[in-house]
Amino acid sequence: MLNTLPLFLAGAIVLASRLDVALFFTSGVSGQVLISLRIDGFGWFEIPMRSLTFERMLGAVLMIDGGLLIQRGSEGEGIP
């Protein structure tokens, strides 16, 4: 099995300096939330299925909106 840790670290170093550290981590957590909703919805990995409720969907949308607000707040700040 390929060890992906060096690839992740290299990508994190490059992307965090380009995006902004806050946006980088918000994007990562948002992706994990979306994947977890998918896993719960289909019952993958022998996990009991949970339906996608309004509250769970709202939580995911607010995570994505938070990332967009972070990006919008740092648009004027460029990398020198």
| Tens-place pLDDT, residues 35-56 | 999 998 888 888 888 888 899 9
Q: Is residue 44 part of a domain?
A: yes
Domain residues for 29? 20-73
Q: Is residue 64 part of a domain?
A: yes
The two three-digit tokens of residue 21, written as one number? 């550290």
Per-residue confidence band for 25, with pLDDT thresholds at 50, 70 and 90: confident
Is the CB of residue 37 less than 8 Å from the CB of residue 60?
A: yes
| Among 62, 74, 13, residue whose Cα is nearest residue 33 | 62
Q: Is residue 52 part of a domain?
A: yes
As for how many domains the chain has, the answer is 1
Q: Is residue 33 part of a domain?
A: yes
Q: Is residue 3 part of a domain?
A: no
Average pLDDT on 61-80 reads 76
| pLDDT confidence of residue 80 | 45
| Tens-place pLDDT, residues 9-24 | 888 888 777 777 788 8
Q: Give the C-alpha separation, 67 to 58, whole Å.
A: 14
